Structure 1
């Protein structure tokens, strides 16, 4: 059996994030996605490239690719939140939702199940079309697509 890495998190009942921790608690049986995925996706989309840089085990090219992957994942999370809360019109044509990076998915090593195996190649002009196609997805498909 592979060696496990444990992570435990507790906060005060009075913390402004207490609702979040209760929501992610094993006691909540009504989550949109598996709990493990929700936590990993949220952490990985921002902190994974920084953790890899901290570890010192990755080349500059690998770190840049990981940062691009994280940016893509964060964009998908923005789109998901906008869709869930009916804020699509407020996103408009914001540049944050276009993806100016060119990805070569074959260069990305798959270190764990939370790392996407493929990413779309988008040009600036593709951003608006990509936003429309993502907004037509069902809620549960939006984040699944970002973290395949």
Structure 2
């Protein structure tokens, strides 16, 4: 028995299913990286993510009318329904993980800024001694003048 070569999907639904599967795989990979804090690796996935989403956009008709639930259930293959549900779940998880990553990076930046501000407040006073809290602004007046 010989294996026949895989043919390209012939119907729109097959092409959509193939595209959705590729997007889902990428989102799973991105979510795994976000969960483990590998943010630089997430950034490397962005060009591929854009390409896949653009391919999906091109598959969809420009002015498609929304289908009723009856039309969707009658026309969509079970594989398409499963892939769509998986896509929605992955997008929700991705959004939450991205928000957590943004919050974590914001906290890190805030800690760095607070440390820098603390270092600015510590220095030498006008008499040459060690002083804390002398410089509260960008412009400081000398106390000995």
Structure-2-length-normalised TM-score: 0.36
CA radius of gyration, larger in: 2
Larger relative contact order, structure 1 or 2 (CA cutoff 8 Å, min sep 6):
2
